[in-house]
Structure 1
């Protein structure tokens, strides 16, 4: 089975500074569940930025879905980016939009029919347990509720890869359990999930998950695991 993500000797630097990622090589099989661990400042967020195409590598080979991202024409990047869902550490919800409209945003950007949007949003609200908060504004939500809205928005377009940056950093243990269950349910449906975290308890909740550790810009990772 071909890897859905493949890095070969990838380096990343911002501007003319030193490399923040160095000689990174790893691969993920379709349907993998992977934890990316490391201390604050080790490079987890930079690696995620590469994965959701917010940044291009400075060197090396980076393939998503078998496509070389270094040679990909910029005009084709949006179509690849739509296959990657992202749950940001700071949620990035639009404050003047309701919960329902925040979740609907990726579909509306893609010009989906409004009837299809309404149906999909209803399904997502039920899945994350927020049907009763559909018309609420983000400022009125708890941290756990905002995180669930962010997850629903990230997956409503059915991405092939879901990335989550410290998803349990602002929630209690009970909510962390619920979030992990949401990620696991997506993974069982075939979504490749990558969670950046330093939370050992969170990692323990998903036995058998693939592990990658990053320190000083270097990644230690096992070989491709078959789904």
Structure 2
């Protein structure tokens, strides 16, 4: 299987303090599903920021899609970022836009014509069970509904990588299962999925998922192998 992400001896330091992440090395393969776990403060969000190019490392090498992402020219960053879908902990919906327009936003940014936007947006709203909330503004939606709109927006472009930071933190257990099913469906269509979570009840919901654990800013690697291929379901 082709490698889609490679970290080599990556470190991240904010300001002049101690490193938040130290000597992070791993490889993710195309089309696999990963859970990123670890206690609060372990550095999960910081690692995800490096993965979706919101933060540059203090040292080390990051390769995405076979290219050096650290040395990538600034003019190429938007094109790279469009290949990565992100579900943020705090949703980051545009408050003055309707649910429909929030989901449609990535398609419009990519230059898709208005006459072909409606069908995929309606399908995506139905996929997350919010087709009846298309006209609603984010402020009128519950936290769980906002999370589902954020997920619909992140996956509508069928990204090559989906990064989700605690995506089930604001929904009930039934909806958490439903969202994981959506991620699993997207993964089976070929998207590499990375879900950061502290909810260990979720970890067995995707049998083929591989586990990555962060502890005190370092990857915990009990197998001695820093390559994370997809885990095969048990017979």
Q: TM-score, normalised by structure 2?
A: 0.93
Q: Counterpart in 2 of 1:120?
A: 120
Distance apart, 1:208 and its partner CA: 2.8
Whole-Å Cα distance in 2 between the matches of residues 14 and 27 of structure 1? 24
Give the distance between the partners of 1:77 and 1:198, measured in 2 at CA. 30
Gaps of 5+ in 1: none
| Aligned positions of 1:45-194 closer than 5 A | 45-194=45-194
Q: CA deviation at 1:126?
A: 1.7
CA contact (8 A) 2:208 2:230 kept: no
How far is 1:226 from its partner?
Answer: 5.1
Q: Partner of 2:213 in structure 1?
A: 213
Is contact 1:11-1:23 (8 Å) kept?
A: yes
Aligned alpha-carbon RMSD (Å):
1.3
What is the CA–CA distance in structure 2 between the aligned matches of 1:102 and 1:192, rounded to whole Å?
23
- What's the offset of the Cα at 1:118? 1.4
Q: Distance in 2 between matches of 1:44 and 1:60?
A: 18
Give the match's secondary structure for 1:4: strand
Q: Which runs of 5+ in 2 are unaligned?
A: none
Task: Give the 3 Å change call, closer, same or farther, for CA 209–226 of structure 1 in structure 2.
Answer: closer
Task: Please report how far the alpha carbon of residue 16 of structure 1 lies from its aligned counterpart in structure 2 after TM superposition.
Answer: 2.1
Contact persistence 2:128–2:149 (CA under 8 A) = yes
CA distance in structure 2 between the aligned counterparts of 1:28 and 1:157, rounded to whole angstroms: 21
Q: Is the 8 A contact 1:3 1:224 kept in 2?
A: no
Residue 19 of structure 1 is matched in structure 2 by: 19
